[in-house]
Amino acid sequence: MRPLRADARDNRARILIAAEDVFGQAPNASTEEVAKLAEVGIATVFRHFPTKVELLEAVLTVRLERLRDRAIELAGHDDAGSAFFGFFTQVVSESASKLAIAEALSASGSAAGEAAKEAGAGMRAAFGVLLDRAQQAGAVRRDAGFAEVYALLVGASRGATAAGLEPAVRDRMLELVYDGLRS
């Protein structure tokens, strides 16, 4: 497969940004709404993503890759505790639109594709590194295993989204969770 021309790469990027915005707010939105926001024709959307499912998978993959990359970046910070808790807060804060996209994909009768699964695994691994570093620095209790802490991340994300928590309430909830995680 030959590389995309610059204008095609630009169109693809605009479509993904628009789709993330559109489907993150309204999972049942149409690809026509994505095309309109991306300022491209619907044929351009379908040239890059022949089905809505492929578009949703691509958007989910991009979201997970961005989180993975952020966790990897934060793993290099001197303050491991702040890096861990900052990433945890980011994931929960952004969870509503990510979950909307994942639910739209599920509602379409499709599961996440290999690229999304790989990106998700990479994000979990990077989160594990953040947790390990925070524990080694004494910012997170050592008896908190990855499985439990990851379950807290998922639960807090889903809970904040399902309850439609205002940011101030969400942040207070997270402080309570963090109090339980701190050494």
Same domain, 3 and 74: no
pTM of the full predicted structure?
0.88
Q: Do 67 and 43 fall within a single domain?
A: no
Distance (Å, whole) CA 60 – CA 49: 13
Residues 140 and 109 in one domain: yes
Q: Do 57 and 44 fall within a single domain?
A: no
Q: How many CB atoms lie within 10 A of CB 104?
A: 22
Same domain, 83 and 123: yes
Q: Kindly state whether residues 69 and 159 are assigned to the same domain.
A: yes
Q: Is residue 78 domain-shared with residue 26, that is, in the same domain?
A: no
Please state the domain count of the chain: 2
Last residue of a domain, one of 33, 50, 67: 50
Q: What percent of the chain has pLDDT over 90?
A: 71
- The model's confidence at residue 1, banded by pLDDT at 50, 70 and 90, is low
Q: What would the mean pLDDT of 77-86 be, rounded to a whole number? A: 97
Of the given ranges (21-35, 104-118, 121-135, 167-181), which has the lowest mean pLDDT?
104-118
| Model confidence pLDDT, tens digit, residues 148-174 | 999 999 999 999 988 988 999 999 999
How many Cα atoms within 13 Å fall on the side-chain side of residue 96?
14
Per DSSP, 4 falls in state P
- Looking at the fold, whether 15 and 93 belong to one and the same domain comes out as no
In this prediction, residue 157 carries a pLDDT of: 94
Residues 119 and 175 in one domain: yes
Q: In terms of residue numbers, what domain contains 105?
A: 53-181
Q: Name the amino acid, one letter, at 166.
A: E
pLDDT digits (tens, 9 = 90+) for 123-145: 999 999 999 999 999 999 999 99
Q: Which of 50, 67, 88 is the last residue of a domain?
A: 50
Residue 5: which CATH number? 1.10.10.60
CATH number at residue 117: 1.10.357.10
Same domain, 4 and 81: no
Torsions phi, psi for 74 (to 5 deg): -65, -25
Kindly state whether residues 98 and 164 are assigned to the same domain.
Answer: yes
Considering the domain architecture, whether residues 6 and 64 belong to the same structural domain is answered as no
For the chain, the distance separating the N- and C-terminal CA atoms, rounded to the nearest angstrom, is: 51
Task: Match 């910012």 to its residue by tokens.
Answer: 139
Q: Is 147 exposed, middle or buried (0-12, 13-18, 19+ CB in 10 A)?
A: exposed
